[in-house]
Each structure stands twice: as structure tokens, then as C-alpha cells.
């Protein structure tokens, strides 16, 4: 019995007596070829359509992708080996993975997650006439993860993300693998998340990619690079519910960075009508006491032995302030000064000697390597 050249529908033979059933069957198959849809479960991975599946359906809804997969279609008819010309629609139902469509050879078309494309096969390759669907995950930095319900500070595993609290919107840490849901390494990008000089590095939005109404927002304040994963210190600022995510939920991790705090520069005369508080920076007691003028103007230290005040780092002309020096419970500790310190009047001066007594060293930097100072005994 002859068949049609593209869909291989049985045709009526010239000598065939009963033509009605054959014609009716052909009409049914034509209707299916231009209207029917089929759900293709791709949980096992790459899938190949039979010629009957391919030629008797117009729409192919692909579900259950465990990773980026390929849907292979017949390029030629099985009987005559002719080009299997078809215009058809493929819907990628996955919320995370790309679906490739094509023959065993020739060009293919990649369909993004949650998207649909109108395709055509010319017997050699597959081409696309258009695609549409959900846009990319929002955020300056956008990564996809599978949610893990573990709570410990440890690598949740490739492609996974976890929180440190069973009540998810009470979490203060996020642990996320350097590999995303599709196996892409994001290490270099993740390591930039803590780059802002502001107290808050940025904001994080976690949301269910299949249900964007399920979400949690965090402020991020610190990042620690752990082996194979990153630890983010966060503060929750809002959520759709207390615990919106289930095990295995495909999450969107969207990060927007905060701008740098910048350095305050005053270029005009200003009048201050309230106190400007500059709390003292505690210096670490050591044989040579390290001073960093970038940390402040006021400092304090308790001497537990005979010490040397080291040359300050980051010293600029005009830097000035005070260093409060206290004797420990033993007392009689001496303090000498490194080469960049110059006493007022040329006399170095000495500290009070009784236990727990205080002295104030007032300083003014004439230049980075010339700091004048004087010692005021207050007890």
C-alpha cells in the first residue's frame, strides 16, 4: 500500500474496494499531525522520538529534565528515506535546564528553561522561527541552586544551597557551593560579593523559580571563602512566609551589590552644632606597639612590659590626636619611641610609674616621618 511522502500516511490504492475507512483513517492522522500534543518525560535524560510520535503530533511538551538534555527527532521517513519535513512546537517545561532539539546529525536548536519554540526540520537540520518564555533570573548577579535542608556550616554539595536555620527566614548564614545547578563554576564571581566598603555588601533575593511568589530577602554583611563553597553572613529583611522552600526546590539566587561608602571630604568651612564622637582605638600591647593612623585619631593601650611605640603607618601631614597609656597592675613600665617620633622641646619625657596610672601622649604629624609629641601626666 502506498504512503504519503512526508507523514507516511497510508494512501488509497487504485484497485482498493473499500476506500471510506482508509480515507477516514488518513483524515484522523492528518488532524493529529497538525493539532495533537504529546508529553515527553525526559527523566532518564536524552530522549529519541519514534517516527510515529514525531509525525502524529504537533506539540511536544518536555518534562522532568535531570540536566541539560537533547530531544532527538527523525530526519528522514523510515520507509522511503525521504526528508521528514515538519513544522512543530517544543515546550521546555524545565525550570532550570536547557533543552536541545535536533536530529542525530545536523544543526540543533537550544531552547531555554520555561520556554517554547516553533521549529522546522528540512531533513538535514532543525531551525527555529521564534522562542519565548520566562526571562532570566533577576539581579546583577543571578545563579540557580537546588535547595538543601541541611543546617551545618559545610559544603551542601554541587549545585546546592542551604541556610543555617530550620525557620528559613530566621537564617543568619547562607552556604552555597561554587558550582551552580547546571555545574558551572562561579568561584570568581562569588568572591566579589563582599567587595563593597559599605557595612552592607548587598542584598540577596532567594526565590522559587517555579513559583516566584515564594521568596526571602537578606542583607549580606560578610563573605568567607571555604573550600568548595562560600559562607555568607546575612540578616533577613523580608519573606513570603517563614519557610517557603522545600528540599530540592530550584532556587534563584539574585545578588545586587551596595555601592562603596567612599571617603568623606570636606572642602568648605563647616559649623558643627553637635558632638562629633571619635572613640579610641585599642592598640595591641607588644614589644613594639603597632599604630595605624587609618584606624582613627584617638588610641589607648595598657602596658604589660617595657615597650617601644612603633612608627605609625598611613601617616599624613596634619594627622593629630591622643594616645592614652595606662600602666598595668605591676607598674613602672617604660615607653620609648621609634625614629619618627620627636618630643616637643627635645625632652622625651617619662611616664607615671605607679600601677594602673594613666598618661596622655598628644601628637601632631608634621609629615609622614616626623610626628611631634608630648606626654601629659594625669595620675
Which pLDDT does position 350 carry in this prediction? Answer: 87
Which pLDDT does position 10 carry in this prediction? Answer: 61
pLDDT of 24 higher than 90? no
Q: What is the Cα–Cα distance from 218 to 237, expressed in whole angstroms?
A: 5
**What confidence tens digit (pLDDT) does each residue in 176-186 have?**
999 998 899 99
Q: Which CATH architecture has domain 281-377?
A: Sandwich (2.60)
Angle at 340 between CA 334 and CA 345, to 5 degrees: 70
Average pLDDT over every residue of 291-301: 94
pLDDT of 221 higher than 60? yes
Average pLDDT over every residue of 43-61: 92
Average pLDDT over every residue of 28-42: 77
Which pLDDT does position 31 carry in this prediction? Answer: 62
**Which residues are CB-contacts of 65 (< 8 A; sequence separation ≥ 6)?**
42, 43, 92, 93, 94, 96, 97, 99
Which pLDDT does position 211 carry in this prediction? Answer: 78
Q: What is the Cα–Cα distance from 177 to 166, expressed in whole angstroms?
A: 19
Task: Name which of 15-24, 144-153, 297-306, 307-316 the model is least confident about.
Answer: 15-24
Task: Name which of 183-197, 225-239, 249-263 the model is least confident about.
Answer: 249-263
**What confidence tens digit (pLDDT) does each residue in 109-135 have?**
888 888 889 999 999 999 988 655 545
The upper half-sphere exposure of residue 255, i.e. CA atoms within 13 Å in the direction of its Cβ, equals 25
Task: Name the nearest CA neighbour of 206 among 178, 174, 165, 181.
Answer: 174
Where does the pLDDT of residue 378 fall: very low under 50, low under 70, confident under 90, or very high at 90 and above?
confident
Average pLDDT over every residue of 30-57: 86
Structural domain boundaries in the chain: 20-133, 141-257, 281-377
pLDDT of 138 higher than 60? no
Q: Given this chain, do its domains 141-257 and 281-377 carry the same CATH topology?
A: no
Task: Name the nearest CA neighbour of 163 among 258, 94, 240, 242.
Answer: 242
Q: Is 101 exposed, middle or buried (0-12, 13-18, 19+ CB in 10 A)?
A: buried
pLDDT of 3 higher than 80? no
Which pLDDT does position 141 carry in this prediction? Answer: 86
DSSP state of 25: H
Which pLDDT does position 28 carry in this prediction? Answer: 59
Q: What is the Cα–Cα distance from 273 to 285, expressed in whole angstroms?
A: 37
Q: How many percent of the chain have pLDDT more than 70?
A: 87
Average pLDDT over every residue of 76-102: 89
For residues 114, 163, 218, 224, the Cα torsion angle rounded to the nearest 10 degrees is -110
Q: What is the Cα–Cα distance from 306 to 286, expressed in whole angstroms?
A: 9
Q: What is the Cα–Cα distance from 379 to 373, expressed in whole angstroms?
A: 19
C-alpha 172, offset from chain centre = 16
Task: Name the nearest CA neighbour of 178 among 168, 193, 167.
Answer: 193
Which pLDDT does position 204 carry in this prediction? Answer: 94
Which pLDDT does position 130 carry in this prediction? Answer: 62
Which pLDDT does position 111 carry in this prediction? Answer: 87
Where does the pLDDT of residue 264 fall: very low under 50, low under 70, confident under 90, or very high at 90 and above?
low
Where does the pLDDT of residue 4 fall: very low under 50, low under 70, confident under 90, or very high at 90 and above?
low
Average pLDDT over every residue of 40-66: 93
pLDDT of 159 higher than 90? yes
Which pLDDT does position 196 carry in this prediction? Answer: 85
**More confident of the two residues 370 and 210:** 370
pTM, rounded to two decimals: 0.44
> What's the topology of domain 141-257?
Elongation Factor Tu (Ef-tu); domain 3 (2.40.30)
- For the chain, give the mean pLDDT: 88
Q: Which CATH architecture has domain 20-133?
A: Sandwich (2.60)
**117 within 8 A of 165, measured Cβ to Cβ:** no
Average pLDDT over every residue of 9-13: 62
Amino acid at each position: 500500500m502506498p504512503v504519503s511522502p512526508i507523514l507516511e500516511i497510508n494512501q488509497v490504492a487504485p484497485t482498493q474496494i473499500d476506500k471510506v475507512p482508509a480515507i477516514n483513517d488518513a483524515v484522523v492522522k492528518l488532524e493529529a499531525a497538525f493539532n495533537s500534543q504529546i508529553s515527553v518525560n525526559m527523566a532518564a535524560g536524552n530522549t529519541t522520538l519514534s517516527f510515529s510520535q514525531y509525525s502524529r503530533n504537533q506539540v511536544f511538551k518536555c518534562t522532568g529534565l535531570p540536566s541539560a538534555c537533547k530531544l532527538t527527532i527523525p530526519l528522514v521517513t523510515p520507509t522511503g528515506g525521504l526528508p521528514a519535513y515538519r513544522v512543530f512546537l517544543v515546550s521546555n517545561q524545565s525550570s532550570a535546564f536547557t533543552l536541545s532539539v535536533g536530529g542525530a546529525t545536523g544543526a540543533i536548536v537550544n531552547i531555554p528553561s520555561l520556554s517554547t519554540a516553533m521549529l522546522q526540520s528540512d531533513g538535514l537540520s532543525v531551525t527555529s522561527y521564534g522562542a519565548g518564555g520566562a526571562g532570566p533570573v533577576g539581579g546583577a548577579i543571578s545563579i540557580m541552586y537546588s535547595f538543601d535542608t541541611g543546617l551545618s556550616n559545610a559544603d551542601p554539595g554541587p549545585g546546592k544551597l542551604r541556610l543555617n536555620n530550620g525557620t528559613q527566614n530566621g537564617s543568619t548564614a547562607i552556604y552555597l557551593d561554587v558550582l551552580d545547578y547546571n555545574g558551572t563554576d562561579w568561584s570568581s564571581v562569588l568572591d566579589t560579593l563582599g567587595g563593597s566598603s559599605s557595612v552592607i555588601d548587598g542584598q540577596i533575593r532567594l526565590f522559587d523559580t517555579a513559583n516566584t511568589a515564594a521568596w526571602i530577602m537578606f542583607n549580606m554583611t560578610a563573605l568567607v571563602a571555604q573550600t568548595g563553597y562560600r559562607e555568607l553572613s546575612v540578616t533577613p529583611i523580608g519573606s513570603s512566609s517563614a519557610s517557603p522552600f522545600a528540599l530540592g526546590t530550584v532556587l534563584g539566587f539574585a545578588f545586587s551589590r551596595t555601592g562603596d561608602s567612599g571617603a568623606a571630604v570636606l572642602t568648605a568651612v563647616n559649623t558643627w552644632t553637635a558632638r562629633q564622637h571619635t572613640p579610641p582605638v585599642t592598640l595591641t600591647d607588644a614589644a613594639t606597639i603597632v599604630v595605624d593612623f587609618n584606624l582613627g585619631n584617638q588610641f589607648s593601650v595598657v602596658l604589660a612590659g617595657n615597650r617601644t611605640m612603633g612608627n605609625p603607618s598611613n601617616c599624613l601631614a596634619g594627622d593629630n590626636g591622643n594616645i592614652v597609656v595606662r600602666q598595668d597592675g605591676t607598674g613602672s613600665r617604660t615607653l620609648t619611641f621609634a625614629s619618627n617620633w620627636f618630643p616637643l622641646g627635645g625632652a622625651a619625657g617619662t611616664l607615671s610609674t605607679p600601677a594602673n596610672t594613666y598618661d596622655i601622649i598628644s601628637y601632631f604629624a608634621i609629615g609622614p616621618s616626623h610626628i611631634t609629641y608630648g606626654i601629659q601626666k594625669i595620675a
